[in-house]
Amino acid sequence: MPGSVRKLLAHSPGLAILAGLVVAPLLIVNQYHLQVLIFIGIYAILVLSLNLLNGYVGLLSIGHAAFYGIGAYASAKMMIDLKMPFILAMPLAALTAGLFGYLIAKPTLRLSGIYMTLATLGFNIIFFLILQNWMGFTNGPLGIMDIPAPEIFGWQVDSRQDYYYLILGLVLLTLASMHRLIHCRFGRALKSIREDELAAEATGVHTTRYKIQAFVIAAFFAGLAGSYYAHFIKFISPDSFYIYESFTLLAMLAFGGQGNLVGPVVGAAVLLLIPEIFRFLQEYRMFIYGGVLVVMMLVRRQGLLGGREYSLRLKRFDVQQAQVFSRGDKFLPVDEE
């Protein structure tokens, strides 16, 4: 088989899924269904970014919604007040979130374990209070309305379909970035910190620097999702970025399984779909939501897809024959003295 065909076949399951996702909005007529898919995309990015911290570095951050909110507010303010084009506002908003991530990470990552976790929680609460009370800048609980729709090089993002393709692109960008980051020196260092910080440090890994970098990247992608959210819903208020949101993200991550790139996406999708599917039960649907989470933690604590890594290539057709060694752990001859 020629190399290019082999390569294509190896990628075929992934390509099929991608093709399905591209064609999906043409087949889905119901706007509400598209909207659900778009939200799955937003949350997939958020949970993927949280996964970098919780799943790869082993830092428990429970204030991630703050960075989501920073991205949303920064993007809205930049477009409304500074009249920036969307193509500039979105990356700048993400960078702003990353900058705040740095400012939080720098002092708090010296703390370890639960103290660092509490610091992230505190930051989320403070951020919420600022949003609520800084009337002049954030318009307080009334929020910011009439956020302009995105326009990218003349492409006016307008219909649900357009929004769908935009978020699909962002999710793929996030997935590809995370995949590349994890499969290089950077990702290996992050995993070593998760596995044994002391040993990583003794092996020459600058653990503090890596932790700060991971925190900034996670904040960056959360900010990206926030920016998209602001321009999609066109209205943002502090309520969307309260700690409740952070816990939702944590639940999705725990449900889907952390430490790989598939689990977070699946977790976000399933936990968003459950309340939608059981909408006919009205308020009782949250029983199902909670019940599923409880059962999951009892039956499969590592989450649906946790506890192992998955290749994004979905290797099916290029499984290589494992190398066979004839000599195993043979006894070495013992020197008799």
Partner 1 sequence: MALLDLKQVTKEFGGLKALDAVSTHIGEGEIVSLIGPNGAGKTTLFNCITGTMPPTSGSIVFDGCELVGSSPHEVAQKGIARTFQHIRLFNEMTVLDNVMVGRDAKGRTGILSGLLRPPWVQLEESRSREKCLEILSLFGERLLPRLEQSPKMLSYANRRRLEIARALAIGPRLLLLDEPTAGMNPHETQGIVDLIRHIREQGYTVLIIEHKMKVVMTLSDRIVVLDHGKTIAEGPPEAIASNPEVIEAYMGGRRGA
Interface residue list for partner 1 (CB under 8 A)? 177, 180-181, 184-189, 191-192, 194-196, 198-207, 213, 217, 259, 323, 325, 327-335
The two structure tokens encoding residue 274: 């459950």
| Residue placing its CB nearer to partner 1 in the complex, 283 or 329 | 329
| Residue type, position 115, single letter | Y
Cβ closest to partner 1, residue 26 vs residue 322: 322
- For residues 221 and 242, which CB has a smaller minimum distance to partner 1 in the complex? 221
Pull the structure tokens for residue 139: 């318009």
Q: State how far the Cα of 134 lies from the Cα of 127, in Å rounded to an integer.
A: 11
Those residues with Cβ within 8 angstroms of residue 162's Cβ, 6 or more apart along the chain or in another chain:
155, 156
Amino acid at 266: V
Compute the distance between CA of residue 19 and CA of residue 87 in angstroms, rounded to an integer: 26
Secondary structure percentages of the chain, helix, strand, coil, to 5:
70, 0, 25
CB 256 within 8 A of CB 263: yes
Nearer to partner 1, 162 or 197 (CB): 197
Q: Which is nearer to partner 1, 146 or 329 (CB)?
A: 329
Interatomic CA distance for residues 145 and 147, integer angstroms:
6
Helix (H) or strand (E) holding 105: helix 86-108
In the complex, minimum distance from the CB of residue 124 to partner 1, in angstroms, rounded to a whole number: 25
Q: What is the closest distance, in whole angstroms, from the C-beta atom of residue 152 to partner 1 in the complex?
A: 21
Q: Measure the CA–CA gap between 308 and 35, rounded to whole angstroms.
A: 31
Closer CB to partner 1, 25 or 55, in the complex = 55
Q: How far is the CB of 198 from partner 1 (least distance, A)?
A: 7
Q: Tokens 């477009």: give the residue.
A: 79
Q: Work out how close the CB of 220 gets to partner 1 at its nearest, in angstroms, rounded to a whole number.
A: 10
Compute the least distance from the CB of residue 149 to partner 1, in Å: 29
How far apart are alpha carbons 163 and 150 in whole angstroms? 9
Minimum distance from CB of 125 to partner 1 (Å)? 29
Short-list 51, 191, 68, CA closest to 124 = 68
Q: What would the two tokens of residue 117 be?
A: 């976790």
Q: C-beta of 190: minimal distance to partner 1 in Å?
A: 10
Q: How far does CA 241 lie from the centroid of its chain? A: 15
State phi, psi for 322 to the nearest 5 degrees.
Answer: -65, 140
Q: Which is nearer to partner 1, 48 or 79 (CB)?
A: 48
Shortest distance (Å) from residue 92 CB to partner 1:
18
Place of tokens 């000599």: 327
Least Å distance between CB 67 and partner 1?
A: 17
Query: Residue 299 or residue 332: which is nearer to partner 1 going by CB?
Result: 332
Instruction: Provide the β-strand partners of residue 144.
Output: 236
Nearer to partner 1, 171 or 269 (CB): 171
204-221 burial, b at 16+ Cβ within 10 Å, e below that, comes to ebebeebbbbbbbbbbbb
Q: Classify residue 2 as exposed, middle or buried by CB count within 10 Å of its CB (0-12, 13-18, 19+).
A: exposed
